[in-house]
Structure 1
Amino acid sequence: MAGKKIRLAELVVLVQGELVGDPELLISGVADFDSAGEGEITFVADLKRGARLDECKGSAIIVPLAVTEISGSAIRVKNPYLAVARIHALFVEEPFVATGVDARAVVGDDCHIPAEVAISPLVFIGNRVHLGQRVTLHPGVVVYDDAVIGDDVVLYANVTIGRGCRIGNRVIIHSGAVIGSDGFGYATDGNGHHLKRPQVGVVQIDDDVEIGANTCIDRATFGRTWVKRGTKIDNLVQLGHNVVIGEDALLVAQVGMAGSTTTGNNVVIGGQVGLGGHIHLGDRVMIAAKSGVHNNLEPGSIVAGIPAIPHKNWLRASAAYAKLPDMVREMRELKKKVAELSRAMTPGRDDSPGNDA
């Protein structure tokens, strides 16, 4: 939609908000609060910044419902972050262009490739691969034998899809991600030598999942490693074999999840969290960054720390930890005072030098 202008009234309908000001105002783009200019819409997400509304140079602004004093054009909504995300997506949306299969791509035998695809140079597609409609494969993508990719999928540069893996509709996978590498599984003999266990399962990625750059999702030993609908995974995440991630989960960068761990829906896992294998996280579990989780967590649990404990307990423990140097000093002073009191209360005792018993 480059260069297109949209009426403010249309944007109000898109985000189901309340209109303030001129419904015929034309908006040509989205910008942040400090840089928004003529023709652009911006937003404030909280009441603290609402006091600066008069400083806004944009043509319109998205504000929380609680903001009532507005001099210019605006859209009042319950969730400004969600509203601006929808509007911004509308402006940056580009129609799919079917460029076909580039002559420098390699396509194997017995593949199903529709006419409406965009396959770039240096893409490799193995045998018996099935592509859906409007699939975009950027340069360097590798899709191994028997993989299935759904409609409206975008695979950015150097993504690898392993043998037999399944990718749903409207999936986005960013550069360098590897879907379907071998799981980390070995059996150790009596001499300490490690024998590789065959990894013969697949990875299944359901509809509307997004996977960040350089993330690795291992294929299952048997069966499937499974990422369910709507889940969003950040960069540099590692999911082991037979992991199952529920719907609409959020996994932040550098999460590491050992094999056969499973989660419910709407789980949020902070950056650099490590999870042991064969555990289950219930629905709506939240784990703070850098935590280590080794046990099952009940639905709705909020935990932090290594090992992870209830978040409120962790906050109290962290506050106490920060005070440890003072506590040690106070303890030494108390011990010294107790010793002095003990000597004073013991008749005939003289602890001065040279009077050892």
Structure 2
Amino acid sequence: MSGETHAPRTGGGDGQTPITAADVAAQVGGRLVGDPTVLVRGVAPLDRAGPHDLSILSHRRYGGWFAESRAGAVLVALELADQPGRPATRVVVERPMDALIGLLGHFQRTEPRTAGVHSTAVIAPTVRMGAGVTVDAHAVVGDGVVLGDRCWIGAGATVGAGSSLGADVRLHPHAVVYPFTELGDRVVLHAGAQVGREGFGFVPRSTGVVRIPHVGRCVLEHDVEVGANSCVDRGSVDDTVIGAGTKIDNLVQIAHNVRIGRFCFIAAQAGLAGSTRIEDGAQVGGQAGLGGHLTIGVKASVAAQSGVFGDVPAGEVWSGYPARPHKEQLRTQAALVRLARLVKPLERLLGRPDASVEGAGP
């Protein structure tokens, strides 16, 4: 140990590639106010930012934090350009959050990668492997698998026999691709995600419960991302298909024969029962449950913790249990609150003895 000490980081970023405030302004097309030579090495919220962090002020509600912030430079909304605050170096932009998103890649930590197959990996002799593929320690790749160019199979991940992975696919540690699954280009499976397993299909018989054979495929199109410990079942009599650009959060269950369109968002702990259809651009909130054989229309939204038992029309927002149009659900909740206010006086009234009976003589 050399005895050298380093100040603890307050924000995000690896601190290896600092950028000046002038460069920030140039990259986002903003107006620079203050010192153009200020160096920022990462990003952080206003209340935790240090002198080498870039932060953001997009709403007046954060004015108190801005007044005391130690941020080296701040992306500031146009209408807040003159907001009183400690940071002297500001980059004034129309949409600070959009500008920040465009800069985050500069500060992102890059995971080290070495092309090639680790000595402990198990690769079947019939695997067809593209250029620049990485297979990490203890991964298993089965017979007849196709790995596209620059695929990265993480430690302990498994790719079942007959599966096909496109270019730039990333399987994080312990992800599982069951046999005969198809992944398009740039698909990402996070740690513990499992795609292509047989679904929850059983038929009761007099002799016991019989599993339904699953003959459908599981297909994830280009740029799909599946979060940690999420499951996507293969089809039973049809294919399960996740459309291009769709993003699935952690701990999500997608049952057999489900069809999800392009550019959809499915939040954590949502569950989609068999043969559900999610059309392009739709969104499903966290912990929502969707019954089987129903359709969520184009660009429709299902709010968190909703229970959906029927079709949701295109473009509408539904919420609640059972789910109904969101404005209708809000009116229902408001009516219940008003009803609760009426109950107490009624209870007091009904709880009093009847004066006419109490005072009546024989």
What is the TM-score normalised by the length of structure 1? 0.87
Contact preservation (8 Å) 1:47, 1:64: no
Q: Is 2:125 aligned against 1:113?
A: no
* Corresponding letter in the other structure for 1:183: G
Q: Map of 1:296-311 to 2, 5 A cutoff?
A: 296-311=311-326
1:163 match: 179
Contact preservation (8 Å) 2:121, 2:140: yes
1:59, 1:194 → 2: CA distance?
65
Q: Map of 1:202-241 to 2, 5 A cutoff?
A: 202-241=217-256
Kindly state the Cα deviation for residue 51 of structure 1 after the two structures are TM-superposed.
5.0
Contact preservation (8 Å) 2:21, 2:38: yes
* Corresponding letter in the other structure for 1:209: V
Kindly state the Cα deviation for residue 125 of structure 1 after the two structures are TM-superposed.
0.2
Worse-matched range after superposition: 44-53 or 110-119: 44-53
1:77, 1:242 → 2: CA distance?
46
2:114 match: 98
1:209, 1:14 → 2: CA distance?
28
Partner-residue secondary structure (3-state), 1:62: strand
* Corresponding letter in the other structure for 1:218: D
Distance 1:103 1:175, change over 3 A: same
1:16, 1:150 → 2: CA distance?
36
Query: Which entry has the higher C-alpha Rg, 1 or 2?
Result: 1
Distance 1:259 1:15, change over 3 A: farther
1:351, 1:314 → 2: CA distance?
45
1:347 match: none
Distance 1:327 1:232, change over 3 A: same
Distance 1:150 1:16, change over 3 A: farther
What value does the CA root-mean-square deviation take over the aligned residues? Answer: 2.7
* Corresponding letter in the other structure for 1:80: P
Distance 1:262 1:12, change over 3 A: farther
Contact preservation (8 Å) 2:46, 2:65: no
Number of equivalenced pairs: 346
* Corresponding letter in the other structure for 2:301: M
Q: Map of 1:318-357 to 2, 5 A cutoff?
A: 318-333=333-348
Kindly state the Cα deviation for residue 287 of structure 1 after the two structures are TM-superposed.
1.7
1:2, 1:54 → 2: CA distance?
25
2:172, 2:216 → 1: CA distance?
24
Kindly state the Cα deviation for residue 285 of structure 1 after the two structures are TM-superposed.
1.5
1:172 match: 188
Kindly state the Cα deviation for residue 256 of structure 1 after the two structures are TM-superposed.
0.4
1:276 to 273, 291, 303: 291
* Corresponding letter in the other structure for 2:274: G
> How high is the sequence identity, in percent, across the aligned residues?
33
Partner-residue secondary structure (3-state), 2:79: coil
1:171, 1:18 → 2: CA distance?
38
Partner-residue secondary structure (3-state), 2:55: strand
Contact preservation (8 Å) 1:96, 1:134: no
2:50 match: 37
2:31, 2:185 → 1: CA distance?
33
2:300, 2:111 → 1: CA distance?
37
1:293 to 303, 308, 314: 308
Q: Gapped runs of 5+ residues in structure 1?
A: 344-349
* Corresponding letter in the other structure for 1:84: L
1:185 to 171, 184, 201: 201
Kindly state the Cα deviation for residue 325 of structure 1 after the two structures are TM-superposed.
4.5
1:127 match: 143
1:108, 1:194 → 2: CA distance?
35
